[in-house]
Amino acid sequence: MIPFANTYARLPERFYARLPPTPVAAPRLLKLNTALAGQLGIDVADLTAEALSGNAVPEGAEPMALAYAGHQFGNFVPQLGDGRANLLGEVAGRDLQLKGAGRTPFSRGGDGRAALGPVLREYLISEAMHALGIPTTRSLAAVATGETVVRETDLPGAIVARVAASHIRVGTFQYFAARRDTEGVRALADYAIARHYPGIGGYRAFLEAVIGRQAALVARWLQVGFIHGVMNTDNCSIAGETIDYGPCAFMDEYDPGTVFSSIDRQGRYAYGNQPRIALWNLTRLAETLLPLLSDDEDKAVEIAQACLAGFGPIFEDAYFGGLRRKIGLSAEREGDNALTQDLLKAMAENQADFTLTFRGLCNAALLPDRDAAVRDLFIDPTAFDVWAERWRARLALENETAAARREAMRAVNPAYIPRNHRVEAALNAAAERDDFAPFEELLAVITHPFDDQPGFARYAAPPAESERVRQTFCGT
């Protein structure tokens, strides 16, 4: 029996709609994350295709679709909600949700289903993010439904079993605030504090803590070249996890303007805009909390602004601290931030691959004669040479041994990220040929991102021009 708790189901009835998942024609287990099941204390014998598709609601579950609202590309939608997801309950304090589980009262025009490709994409990328040490929802399983979903073409349907610290979003707070339901906002805040920030001293501290986690999260994204793609407020987790893997992607060559998502025509969610957007989203959260921050409206605004002002410094500390470690600096000295920025600038001007450049620096830090592997990534290799001379002068001021530095760098500079062209190829093989071997191989490689894995070096390589993926799709 899966050891469910159902704390969300004890919140007021207006927080959700109770309903079971809609059964599917022919559930087939495609992938089971046995390691995660073990961490959650779930016996894998309980994780059958029937249970993971929702065809047989597991004992102890209280299935429901959660209510939330959200700003989508800057426009407020007062009611979104789980239109295709069903929360079964909590296991070991974490939500277990089936995404693609059928229509709900929040489905609007949608069919409540998910296609195989996006399900496998979420599985791959969330597990890669976890392996990279970045807070994220996890994937417990992927199940084929045996049904067809109609998108631009007919596609095989699937369901992903998602595990999250919770599914409370900025948009969940907005849902109640938009209805002037201050008691709802308060109940949600109390619940979120108890679950994610226990012991924290009040609503102001709660807001500060969420801001802190989001600032740190976005800094981590930037340090691995991750682009979320749909940073709407309904995709912004109060627990500070990366959530909702739609058109997300990792960049190959460094360019802060990079956008992959087909629906992000204005570049609102471009790589380099992500910190700004996170702050924008957190400002929307702060607005919902105003009645809780003070009875005096002006005072409440003042408090909210003071909290939001904390975002910049927290983000910069995390961002620059991470970049310093990526280039092998353990202590901070004046000029270090400029050194990291000048590397990025040279990379952008020379279309250097983000992941390979930093990984290459690990060896170059040990042996200057290894510079070649990095400099060749730059259109004009002398741009790297100029920077590397400053870098070496700075490294000479460090106390660590070169070998220790290389090891520390290898632990923060991955060799393997889920490169778009590899993800695309794995998804296509599964969807078009029912061939899961490329998915399995890619998953195995990217869940050990810091290991050399000599037999799989091809997965570290950027795409050939013909393999390049220029756009990614939500697939919803």
C-alpha 22 chain-centroid distance: 27
Q: How far is the CB of 94 from Mg ion (least distance, A)?
A: 18
Burial of 427 from C-beta contacts in 10 A (0-12 / 13-18 / 19+): buried
- Is 274 one of the binding residues for ligand AMP (CB under 6 A)? no
- Is 373 one of the binding residues for ligand AMP (CB under 6 A)? no
From 5-13, 109-117, 247-255, 344-352, give the range in contact with ligand AMP by CB under 6 A.
Answer: 109-117
The answer for residues whose C-beta is within 8 angstroms of residue 29's C-beta and 6 or more apart is 47, 48, 49, 52, 141, 142, 143
231 vs 290, beta carbon nearer Mg ion: 231
Q: What does 48 interact with, of ligand AMP, Mg ion, none (CB < 5 to 8 A by kind)?
A: none
Burial of 160 from C-beta contacts in 10 A (0-12 / 13-18 / 19+): buried
Residue length of the chain: 476
Q: Which of residues 113-132 bind ligand AMP (CB under 6 A)?
A: 113
Q: Which residue is nearest to ligand AMP (CB)?
A: 110
From 3-11, 106-114, 302-310, 428-436, give the range in contact with ligand AMP by CB under 6 A.
Answer: 106-114
- Is 235 one of the binding residues for Mg ion (CB under 5 A)? yes
What is the pairing mode between strands 70-72 and 94-99?
Answer: unpaired
31 vs 113, beta carbon nearer ligand AMP: 113
Give the phi and the psi of residue 237 in degrees, each rounded to 5: -80, 135
From 51-59, 233-241, 451-459, 464-472, give the range in contact with Mg ion by CB under 5 A.
Answer: 233-241
122 vs 234, beta carbon nearer Mg ion: 234
What is the pairing mode between strands 114-115 and 138-150?
Answer: unpaired
- Is 83 one of the binding residues for ligand AMP (CB under 6 A)? yes
Q: What span, in angstroms and rounded, lies between the C-alpha atoms of 232 and 126? A: 18
Q: How far is the CB of 474 from ligand AMP (least distance, A)?
A: 6
Question: Annotated catalytic, 342?
Answer: no
Q: How far is the CB of 244 from Mg ion (least distance, A)?
A: 4
Q: Which of residues 241-260 bind ligand AMP (CB under 6 A)?
A: 244, 246
Question: Which among 234, 244, 353, 371 is annotated as catalytic?
Answer: 234
- Is 107 one of the binding residues for ligand AMP (CB under 6 A)? yes
Q: Where are the beta strands (DSSP E) in 67-115?
A: 70-72, 75-77, 85-91, 94-99, 114-115
Residue given tokens 């199940």 in the structure block: 143
- Is 166 one of the binding residues for Mg ion (CB under 5 A)? no
Q: Decide: 134 and 220 in contact? Cβ < 8 Å.
A: yes
Q: How far is the CB of 126 from ligand AMP (least distance, A)?
A: 14
- Is 229 one of the binding residues for ligand AMP (CB under 6 A)? no
The answer for residues whose C-beta is within 8 angstroms of residue 434's C-beta and 6 or more apart is none
Applying CB under 6 A, among 80, 160, 270, 460 the residue interacting with ligand AMP is 80
Q: What does 317 interact with, of ligand AMP, Mg ion, none (CB < 5 to 8 A by kind)?
A: none
Q: How far is the CB of 412 from ligand AMP (least distance, A)?
A: 30
Q: Decide: 39 and 48 in contact? Cβ < 8 Å.
A: no
Burial of 399 from C-beta contacts in 10 A (0-12 / 13-18 / 19+): exposed
Where on the chain is the footprint of ligand AMP (CB under 6 A)? 80-84, 106-107, 110-113, 230, 234-235, 244, 246, 474, 476
Q: Annotated catalytic sites, by residue?
A: 234
